[in-house]
Every structure is written in C-alpha cells, then in structure tokens.
C-alpha cells in the first residue's frame, strides 16, 4: 500500500519557469510533510517542510501548498534554474518513526 | 559542522556473504534512522533508534537484517547471507532531540550483491 503518491514521475521545465510537483497521502495521522532534494550520488537534503495547521509555506523560491481536506500537498519552484535539476521527494510522518516517501520526481530545467 | 557520515561508500559482495554498514550521526543527534533506496524507487524506512533502543523493528525486510546502536552514537546495519535483491543504496539519517522530525541524511552506502 503506497501511502504517499507523487506525480509526475519526471518533469521538464524551461529556465525561469515554475516547476510544480504534487503529492497525495492517505494516512490522516500524518502531521509533518517535508520535501527533499537529491542530486546523483548524494543523500537527500531537506528542502522545506510544512505542518497541516498552515496552508502555505514559502522559503525563497520554494513554496509548499497544503490542502488538508483533499489530503494533498505540492512543491512549487519559482524561477526554476538549471541548478535545481535533481530528484525531488515528498514525504510524510506521523508519530515517532521514519518518514514515508513518495517515489520521486526527476526534474530537469532546460537552459 | 560535520554531517552524517556512512562507510563504506560502496560495497560489492558475493551472494551469501554477510555485510556491515556503518553510520556516524551528527554529533549530539539522539535519533537515528536507516532507509533503503532501490534503483528508481523512493526511500523505504527500515528502522529507527531513539538513543540506543529501537522500539519497532517491523520495517526490516527480513530476519537477515539487524541493526544496533551503541553509546547513543554510531549505528551498524548488518545483512546476513546477502541476496541479490538486497542490492540498493542504504541511507542513514539523524535528528536532534529538539527537532525530531527534521531528518538529515548521509551520502549512503551503495551495496551490490553479485
């Protein structure tokens, strides 16, 4: 049972455009939703995270939008740059254990 | 400061052999997590430690997998009688007690079972 569904699997965006990655979850006990960025050969790096008591969180060019009733959240990357090309994972957590990850989105920003 | 470190970075082993993977968490982090990342897949949670204890071992894929943590710091993930399906990148993460939800990952150990 996949508890966090992520889409699209891959995404190509022109430099300067907006990259949007979506995730949906099933477990209503989840109360923390981070996004991770992973470059080839590296471990995932925490990018931004949100809790369900807010609908949006912005940090620089990165924004998380959260819809609790729909059990969906998304990552928006504004003014996308070639250096943003990486694999992005959404995740969710409820309780004192590990994160449940989506399967990842391979993002390519074309110059 | 130093991040999470893992060793070895790469490990090639023959089917049936045992392997040990090591994780050094960020200094002072009380929680430690192990994940497995298979090619083209997301991360699969295996086990976590709060201090030296692991409250829930149900995420380990089989009884060939075990993990321990000593002194509230270094952790070792051991895979006995390795199988080809064990080939993956094994990632370790740690969290500070004041922000247990924020997990910081190491670079991983790429395990190849031939």
Question: Is residue B1 very low, low, confident or very high in pLDDT (cuts 50, 70, 90)?
Answer: low
Number of Cβ pairs < 8 A linking chain A and chain B: 60
Query: Which of A43, A46, A93 is facing B106, going by the closest CB pair?
Result: A43
> B58 or A36: which carries more pLDDT confidence?
A36
Total residue length of chain B? 114
- Contact state of A89 with B102 under an 8 Å Cβ cutoff: no
Share of chain A residues as helix, strand and coil, in percent rounded to the nearest 5:
5, 55, 40
For residue B28, is pLDDT > 60? yes
Choose the mutation target among B9, B24, B39, B43 for the interface with A, i.e. most A CBs under 10 Å: B43
Q: How far is CA B37 from the centre of its chain?
A: 11
Averaged pLDDT of chain B:
92
What's the gap between Cα A38 and its chain centre?
A: 11
Three-state SS string over B34-49 comes to EEEECCCCCEEEEEEE
Q: In Å, what is the CA distance from A100 to each residue of A26, A68, A97, B104?
A: 11, 17, 9, 15
Taking the mean position of all CA atoms in its chain, how far away is CA A104? 8
| Whole-angstrom distance, CA of residue B44 vs CA of residue A98 | 9
> In this predicted model, what pLDDT tens digit does every residue of A48-86 receive, in sequence order?
999 989 999 999 999 999 999 999 999 999 999 999 999
**A95 — contact with chain B (CB < 8 Å)?**
no
Query: What's residue A10's pLDDT?
Result: 97
What is the DSSP pairing of strand B88-95 with strand B109-113?
Answer: antiparallel
Instruction: Average the pLDDT over A43-52 and give the result.
Output: 94
pLDDT for res A2: 61
Tens-digit pLDDT profile for residues B49-81: 988 888 788 889 999 999 999 888 999 999 999
Nearest chain B alpha carbon to A33: B101
- 10 Å Cβ neighbour count for A66? 19
A33 lies within 8 A of chain B by CB? no
Pairwise CB contact (< 8 Å): A97 & B45: yes
With beta carbons under 8 A apart, name residues in chain B contacting A32: 101
Listed residue (B19, B24, B35, B40) closest to B112, CA to CA = B19
**Residue A41 in contact with partner chain B when CB distance is under 8 A:** yes
């Amino acid at each position: 049972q996949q508890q966090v569904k992520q889409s699209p699997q891959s995404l190509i965006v022109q430099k300067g455009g907006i990259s949007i990655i979506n995730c949906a979850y099933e477990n209503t006990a989840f109360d923390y939703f981070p996004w991770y960025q992973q470059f080839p050969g590296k471990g995932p790096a925490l990018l931004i995270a949100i809790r369900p008591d807010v609908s949006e969180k912005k940090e620089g060019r990165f924004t998380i939008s959260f819809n609790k009733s729909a059990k969906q959240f998304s990552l928006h990357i504004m003014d996308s740059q070639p250096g943003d090309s990486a694999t992005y994972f959404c995740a969710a957590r409820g309780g004192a254990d590990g994160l449940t990850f989506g399967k990842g989105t391979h993002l390519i920003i074309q110059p | 400061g130093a991040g999470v470190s893992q060793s070895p970075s790469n490990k090639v082993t023959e089917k049936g052999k045992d392997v040990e993977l090591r994780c050094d968490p960020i200094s002072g982090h009380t929680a430690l997590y192990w994940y497995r990342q298979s090619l083209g897949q997301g991360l699969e949670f295996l086990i976590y430690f709060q201090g030296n204890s692991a409250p829930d071992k149900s995420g380990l894929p089989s009884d060939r997998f075990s993990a321990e943590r000593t002194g509230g710091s270094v952790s070792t993930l051991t895979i006995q009688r390795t199988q080809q399906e064990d080939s993956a990148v094994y990632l370790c993460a740690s969290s500070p007690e004041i922000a247990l939800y924020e997990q910081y990952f190491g670079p991983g150990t790429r395990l190849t079972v031939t």
